Amino acid sequence: MDLLNITNWGLNISKKDGSPLLISGPCSAETKEQVADTCQQIAALGIDILRAGIWKPRTRPGSFEGLGSIALPWLIEAGKTNKLPVCCEVANAFHVQEALKHGVDILWIGARTTVNPFAVQEIADALQHKDIPVFVKNPVNPDLELWIGAIERLNKVGIRKIAAIHRGFSVYNSPKYRNQPQWEIPIELHRRYPNLEIICDPSHIAGKRALLYEIAQKALDLNFDGLMIEAHIHPDQAWSDALQQLNPEGLDKLLKQLTSRQTESDNPDYLRKIHAFRELIDQLDSETLDLIDERMKIVRKIGHYKKASNIAVLQIERWKYVREMCIKKAEKLGISSKFVEEFISTIHNESIDQQTTIMRN
Ligand code: PEP
Ligand code: MN
C-alpha cells in the first residue's frame, strides 16, 4: 500500500541546467581544520551541499565512531563560510535534536538505520512537524519495501522534502564493489515513484577510488538526480573509509570526467530515428514472447509425457546441457554469459513450475 502524498515527495533538487546535484565532504568530521580545509577546497569545485559524518554507525566496535556533537559547529561553520547548506547522518532522536539545535540544513538516514523500522520511526517521531529535507539511504540488504517503508514513515510525520540515496547493498565476499549496486532496485523505485529524486553514492558502492568513475557515470547515464561523493583533504590518513575518499584534486578530476546526459531531446532527427528503433524493439520483444510461448507449449507436452511415463520433472544432465549450450552461444554472440545464464535459468524455472503443475493435476 502506498501513501497518498507521493506527488509531494522529492526535494526538487534538479538544477536548471540539468546537471546533477553534488553533495560532497568527508566521511567523518575529524578535526576543525580537516572539515574547514576539505570544505573550502571542494566548495570551489561547484559542490551544492557539504556533508560530514558526525555519528558513525560502524560495522565492528573499535572503529572510529564519530566525534559526536562536538564536531557539529565545525560543519555549520564550513557551511556558513562557503555559503552552502550542510548535511549529516542521524541514527536516533538524540542525533536529530542535536543536528537541529546546531542548524544542520539537511539530514540523512544511513543504510544501517534504514534497515531498522524502530530506529526510523524514532527519527520520524523526532522530526514531527519539522520542515527539514531528509535523504534516505537504501537499507544494507536489497529490500526495496524496507527502503520505501522508511520514506513512508517520514512522509507520515509531515516531512515532504525527501530524496533517496542509493549506496549499494552488502553481500558476503563482494567480488568487486564494497556494496553491490543492484541498479534494478533504484530503477524499480523510480518506476514506482517517478517524483522521488534519487541520488547515487558511488563512494560506498565502490569502496575504492579507482571504481568511483564507472559508478558515478553509470548513475548519470541512468538519470539519477545527484551524486554524494566522499572527499577528504588527506584521504589516506582518514579515520574512516580511507580507501574510497578523494582529495579535492581527485574530486575535481572526477567531476570533469563525468558527462551528464539529457533526459529527452526535441531534435526531430533524433526523435525520428529513436522512434523507428523503438518500433523494431517492440516488435522483437513481442516475437521473443511468442517464441517463449512456443517453448512453453512444448514444455507442457513433455510434462504430460513425463507424467504418463512416471518420470521426474527435473533431469539434471539435460538442464546442464541446455545451460552450457546457451552460455557457449552467448560467448559467440558477444552477449554477457551472466545475463544469458540468468535468462535461461528463469525460463527453466518457469518450465519446471509448469511441468510440476501438470504432474499434480
Ligand atoms: C556515510 O555516508 O558515511 C555512511 C556511513 O554511509 P552508509 O550509511 O551508506 O554506510
Ligand atoms: Mn563513509
Query: Probe ligand 1: pick from 95, 134, 167, 205, max atoms within 8 Å of CB?
Result: 167
- DSSP per residue, 158-213: T---EEEEE--B--TT-SSSSSB--THHHHHHHHH-TTSEEEE-HHHHH-SGGGHH
Residues 6+ apart with CB under 8 A from 196: 6, 9, 10, 151, 162, 163, 164, 189, 190
pLDDT of 128 above 50: yes
Q: What is the DSSP letter of 138?
A: P
Tell the residue nearest (CA) to atom 6 of ligand 1: 110
Query: Probe ligand 1: pick from 24, 135, 204, 245, max atoms within 8 Å of CB?
Result: 204
pLDDT of residue 1: 44
**Looking at the domain covering 268-360, what would its CATH class be?**
mainly alpha
pLDDT of 203 above 90: yes
- The C-alpha R_g of the chain, in whole angstroms, comes to 24
Whole-angstrom distance, CA of residue 163 vs CA of residue 226: 10
Atom number in ligand 1 closest to CA 168: 9
Task: Work out the angle between the directed axes of helices 117-126 and 93-102 (0-180°, nearest 10).
Answer: 30
Lowest-confidence segment of 10-14, 92-96, 131-135 by average pLDDT: 10-14
Q: 9 pLDDT band (50/70/90 cuts)? A: low
Higher pLDDT, 114 or 1: 114
Alpha carbon of 306 to those of 284, 315, 358: distances in Å?
33, 11, 9
pLDDT of residue 182: 97
Whole-angstrom distance, CA of residue 2 vs CA of residue 135: 19
Tell the residue nearest (CA) to atom 1 of ligand 1: 27
pLDDT of 18 above 80: no
Ligand 1 neighbours, Cβ below 6 Å, are 27, 53, 110-112, 137, 167, 201, 204
pLDDT in tens, 309-335: 999 999 999 999 999 999 999 999 999
pLDDT of 218 above 60: yes
Nearest CA to 205 among 231, 182, 234?
182
Distance 334 CA to ligand 1 centre (A): 37
Higher pLDDT, 14 or 271: 271
pLDDT of 359 above 90: yes
> How many helical (H) and strand (E) elements, i.e. helices and strands, does the chain have?
13, 8
pLDDT of residue 361: 87
Whole-angstrom distance, CA of residue 166 vs CA of residue 111: 9
The fraction of the chain above a pLDDT of 90, given in percent, is 89
**Mean per-residue pLDDT for 52-68?**
92
pLDDT of residue 4: 41
Mean pLDDT across the chain, nearest whole number?
94
Q: Are 19 and 237 in contact (CB under 8 A)?
A: no
pLDDT in tens, 262-315: 878 899 999 999 999 999 999 999 999 999 999 999 999 999 999 999 999 999
Number of C-beta neighbours around residue 167 at 10 A = 25
Burial class (CB in 10 A: 0-12, 13-18, 19+), 228: buried
Whole-angstrom distance, CA of residue 267 vs CA of residue 162: 33
Q: Domain-by-domain residue ranges, the chain? A: 3-257, 268-360
Distance of CA 24 to the CA centre of its chain: 17
Atom number in ligand 1 closest to CA 228: 2
pLDDT in tens, 170-188: 999 888 999 999 999 999 9
For 327, the enclosing helix (H) or strand (E) is helix 316-333
Number of C-beta neighbours around residue 208 at 10 A = 13
pLDDT of 6 above 60: no
**Mean per-residue pLDDT for 199-214?**
98
Residues 6+ apart with CB under 8 A from 233: 26, 34, 37, 38, 41, 247, 248
**Mean per-residue pLDDT for 108-113?**
98
Q: Are strands 226-230 and 106-109 parallel, antiparallel or unpaired?
A: unpaired
The fraction of the chain above a pLDDT of 70, given in percent, is 96
Nearest CA to 104 among 66, 129, 82, 134?
134
Dig out the grid coordinates for 17 from the structure.
541546467
Dig out the grid coordinates for 304 from the structure.
504430460
Whole-angstrom distance, CA of residue 142 vs CA of residue 26: 26
Tell me how far apart the 2 most distant CA atoms of the chain are, in Å: 81
Predicted TM-score of the model (pTM): 0.87
pLDDT of residue 118: 98
**How is domain 3-257 classified at the CATH fold level?**
TIM Barrel (3.20.20)
pLDDT of residue 5: 52
